[in-house]
Amino acid sequence: MTDPEIDARQFRNVLGQFCTGITVITTFDMAGAPLGFACQSFAALSLAPPLILFCPTKTSRSWAAIEQSGRFCVNVLAEEQRDVCARFGSRETDKFAGTPWRTSDLNLPLLDDALATIECTVDSVVDGGDHYIVIGRVQALSESTATGRPLLFYRGQYTAIEPDKTTPAPWRADLEHFLTTTTLDTWL
């Protein structure tokens, strides 16, 4: 069976109907310089063990550094960080210039004002066409004390949303039991 002809523009338009959060994936290269790129293809994968995934292009300079070091940080961007997203989505040589950041206890670059940071080691990598599917094992995470809204991408534009506090998503009792009886030590 042969693959059908799919128009690239239509493919982008159709997938643009799915709203995604925006992250910046960061690491240090072997010379100790911070590197990173804007990434929409990020998702939680597993609670036990705690795994996430992201999908860098195969030609990404930042991915090459992550592959060498075996470590990276996912920075979940806030609505106010559109300029950070634009900078890390560009081909600028020093994307960290003018971007407030710090080094974590696990020696990874963390962007200031991110809503959350998730520090990981590379668990496995799968071929995904012109991208790789990178599965990361979570080593540390934190969330901002700020009450900012996430930066989202929808139909080719930045957007944000305020959660509707009157209709929370239903919580599953089996998941509640799992989360309250399982410790991080049992995951690792």
The 10s digit of each residue's pLDDT in 72-116 is 999 999 999 999 999 999 988 899 999 999 999 999 999 999 999
- Nearest residue to 187 (alpha-carbon basis) of 140, 153, 150: 140
Which parts of the chain are beta strand (E)? Answer: 20-21, 23-28, 34-39, 42-46, 51-54, 71-76, 101-103, 109-111, 116-128, 131-143, 152-154, 157-159
- Nearest residue to 75 (alpha-carbon basis) of 65, 85, 60: 85
In a domain, 177, yes or no: no
In a domain, 181, yes or no: no
Q: Is residue 66 within 8 Å of residue 110, measured between CB atoms?
A: no
In a domain, 174, yes or no: no
In a domain, 78, yes or no: yes
Grade residue 120 by pLDDT with cuts at 50, 70 and 90: very high
pLDDT tens profile 3-36: 888 888 888 888 777 777 899 999 999 999 999 9
Residue 178 has pLDDT above 80, yes or no: no
Domain of 147: which CATH number?
2.30.110.10
In a domain, 172, yes or no: no
In a domain, 118, yes or no: yes
pLDDT tens profile 126-150: 999 999 999 999 999 999 876 688 9
Q: What average pLDDT is seen over the chain?
A: 87
In a domain, 129, yes or no: yes
When divided into structural domains, the chain yields a total of 1
**What is the C-alpha to C-alpha distance for residues 53 and 66, in angstroms, rounded to an integer?**
13
In a domain, 187, yes or no: no
Q: Is residue 6 within 8 Å of residue 41, measured between CB atoms?
A: no
- For residue 49, give its domain range: 8-162
